[in-house]
Structure 1
C-alpha cells in the first residue's frame, strides 16, 4: 500500500495549482525537494522542517495562512523522504544536517523563522546554533535532540522507532497522536514500509552520543524561541522536555496543550498555524 506516497503527489499537485513552486535543490548529499511559496506579507521568511519518516506535505494546510503574512515560505523534504531522491551515500544525522543546511544557506536571502517538528526540531536548533545570523526565530514542536540518560528509558525510546509489523505501526500511531485518526489503520502498512526505508534507518541507526545536545550548549541562542509539547506526546520521553526547559534560554516560551500529541500540525492545524503566526510576529 502506498497511500502516503500518493498523498505526497496529490499535495504537490494541489499546492502547484495554488501558485507554490515545487522544485529540487542539488546538495552534496542528494537531490532535495522544496516547496517555495512567495508570500503577500512583509514578515521574515518561514522554513518548515519535518520529522523522521514524514514529509513536507504535512505542513500544506499551514502554508496558505503563512503566505498572507510572510514574504516567502519554504518547506523542505529531507533526503530519502517525501519527494526528495534517496541520498547518494549513507545518510546519518550529520549528513542529514549537512543537506538541510545546504538548502537553507543557498535558498534564504534573509533571516528566517525556522519551524521544526521532532527530528526537524533538532535540525532547526542545530542550524540556529551554527548559523545564528540566519535565524530570526524558532518555532518547535516536540523537538528531538535531547539526551536520554537512563539506559532503560533510552532503549525503550529507540525501540519505539523499530516498526516491523502492522501491529507495531498501530502502536506507533497510538503514541504519536492524542487519538488515532480514522485513517490510521489504512496507513499502518505504509508506516511499516517507510520505517524500513534505508534513509530512515540510517538516521536512527547512526545516532551517537555526540548527536544529542549537551547541557549548556543551547544557552547562547538569542533569537525568539517558541516550543509546543503536547501533553499526549508519548513518542519522546518526558525527560527530554525537562532537558529543554532547563537548557534553552530563559526567554523561550513553552506551551503544553491538552489533547495534542507529537504532531500538532496534523492534530490541530488551525492551532498550529496560530502558534507559528505568533512566533513569526515575535521574530519580525
Structure 2
C-alpha cells in the first residue's frame, strides 16, 4: 500500500476541491451547470452535484435520491448517446474537467512531498514545465522522463527516494502532458506533432537547468525512447540511461494500431482493465476504480490523440541507432509487462552495447508504481557501476530479487 499512499492523498484533494471550489472545465459548460441541477421542493434552491461515474454503490444511491426529488420538467431530457467503442478516444464530456483537477492536485502533492519547485522553462518548441527537486545524495543529477498520458508529478514517490541518492532530481512534463502544451502543428506533415520535438525540447531544458553538466536519464515507456534519442543527439547532456519498459522497438502499422487500442478506454470497466495491464501488482479494488476514472480523463485529452495519431514506424529505434548508444545503459523490464511486446526486450538487449538487464517477475509497464523503492535501489546500484561518461555494468546486477508489496 505504501506506493499508493500519494494517490490516496490526491483523490482526497479532489473530493475537497470539487465540493468547495469552482474548477473551470476546458470545454464550455452547459447552463445552468455542467454538474447537473436538482431543485428542492421545500426551499426552491438549486443544488449542484457532480455526476460520478456510472458504476459504484455511492453513485447508484445518489442517482436514486436525485431522481426521487427531481420535479417534472416541461422540457424533454435526452440522454447523451454512448460513444462507439470502435471509434478511438471518444469519451463522455464530464471527463473534460477531470484532467486539470488531477494535474493540479498531484502537482501540489508533489511539491509538498518532495520539496521541489515547479518551473516553466522556455524552449524553442514550447514552454516546458518541470519539477526541480534538490537532492542530498552524492551522485550527480538525474532526469525523469514519463510515458504517454502520464506527467512529471506521477514520479513523486520515486523522486522522493531518488533525492536521497542524487544531487538533483528533475522531472519533466513532456510535450502535450501535464502543464506542458503541445505546440502548434500547422505546417507539419499531416498537421500532427513531430516526435523529434520531444528530444529537442528536453535538450534545451537541460541546457537551461544544468549548463555544462551531464545527467543520468531515467525514462519510462515513451520517456525511454526520448532518453535514447537524447543519448544519440545530445551526448553532451547524458552520462547514462536507466530505461524502464522503453518504447521504441520496431513496430509495423498493425502493431501501432494494437498499441493505440490499449489506450482506447471507452468505459469504466475498460479503464480498470487498462490499470491492471499497466501494473504488475493489481491495486486494491477501491483505488483501482479511482485510478481507472483518472485514466479515462487523461487519454481523453486532445493532445494525447494527436500524439498517437503522429506515431509512425519511422519514429522507432533501428539496430544501428541502438548500437550507436555509447553511454552505460540499464534496461528494467518487468516480467508482467503487458503493454509492449517481449520482442522489444530481446531487441534492446541484443543491440545496445554493454546493457545491464533487470527482469524481475512481478513488475508491469510502470514498475515505479508497483514498488518505487525497489526501482530507486536498482537505479542507485547501476549508477555506482560507472563514473562520469564511461564504465561497464556489473554482472551481479543482472539477477535482482522480487519484492512483494506488503
Pairwise same-fold verdict (TM > 0.5)? yes
Q: State the SS of the aligned residue for 2:183.
A: coil
**Structure 1: gaps of 5 or more residues:** none
| Residues 202 and 143 (structure 1), Cα distance of their counterparts in 2 relative to 1, 3 Å cut | same
Which deviations, in whole Å up to 9, do the C-alpha atoms of 1:136-194 show, x marking residues without a partner? 11111100011125x65454233223233333322222211123312121232332222
Equivalent in 87, 105, 111 of residue 16 of structure 1: 111
| Residues 196 and 12 (structure 1), Cα distance of their counterparts in 2 relative to 1, 3 Å cut | closer
Q: State the SS of the aligned residue for 1:33.
A: strand
Which aligned pairs between 1:186-265 and structure 2 lie closer than 5 A?
A: 186-249=290-353, 251-265=354-368
Q: Which of structures 1 and 2 has the larger relative contact order (alpha carbons within 8 angstroms, sep 6+)?
A: 1
- Does the 8 Å contact 1:113/1:283 carry over to 2? no
Q: State the SS of the aligned residue for 1:44.
A: strand
Which aligned pairs between 1:65-214 and structure 2 lie closer than 5 A?
A: 65-89=161-185, 90-109=192-211, 110-149=213-252, 152-182=254-284, 183-214=287-318
- Does the 8 Å contact 1:224/1:279 carry over to 2? no
Q: State the SS of the aligned residue for 1:45.
A: strand
Which aligned pairs between 1:262-273 and structure 2 lie closer than 5 A?
A: 262-273=365-376
Q: Offset of 1:72 from its aligned partner?
A: 1.4
| Residues 97 and 201 (structure 1), Cα distance of their counterparts in 2 relative to 1, 3 Å cut | farther
Q: Offset of 1:30 from its aligned partner?
A: 2.1
Which deviations, in whole Å up to 9, do the C-alpha atoms of 1:28-66 show, x marking residues without a partner? 332221011222233111000000000111211122332
Q: Offset of 1:100 from its aligned partner?
A: 2.2
**How many angstroms apart in 2 are the aligned matches of 1:10 and 1:63?**
17
**How many angstroms apart in 1 are the aligned matches of 2:167 and 2:281?**
35
- Does the 8 Å contact 2:98/2:297 carry over to 1? no
Comparing 240-249 and 6-15, the one that deviates more: 6-15
Q: State the SS of the aligned residue for 2:176.
A: coil
**How many angstroms apart in 2 are the aligned matches of 1:45 and 1:134?**
11
**How many angstroms apart in 1 are the aligned matches of 2:291 and 2:98?**
6
- Does the 8 Å contact 1:47/1:114 carry over to 2? yes
Which one has a bigger Cα radius of gyration? Answer: 2
Which deviations, in whole Å up to 9, do the C-alpha atoms of 1:173-232 show, x marking residues without a partner? 221112331212123233222212121121111011211111221112221111111010
Which deviations, in whole Å up to 9, do the C-alpha atoms of 1:213-264 show, x marking residues without a partner? 1122111222111111101010001111121112111x10011111110001
Comparing 4-13 and 125-134, the one that deviates more: 4-13
Q: State the SS of the aligned residue for 1:60.
A: helix
- Does the 8 Å contact 2:244/2:333 carry over to 1? yes
Q: Which runs of 4+ in 1 moved over 6 A?
A: none
**Structure 2: gaps of 5 or more residues:** 1-94, 186-191, 388-406
Q: Offset of 1:10 from its aligned partner?
A: 3.5
**How many angstroms apart in 2 are the aligned matches of 1:23 and 1:135?**
21
**How many angstroms apart in 2 are the aligned matches of 1:173 and 1:41?**
33
- Does the 8 Å contact 1:30/1:99 carry over to 2? yes
Question: What is the root-mean-square deviation of aligned Cα atoms in Å?
Answer: 2.1
2:26 aligned partner: none
Comparing 98-107 and 48-57, the one that deviates more: 98-107
| Residues 168 and 29 (structure 1), Cα distance of their counterparts in 2 relative to 1, 3 Å cut | farther
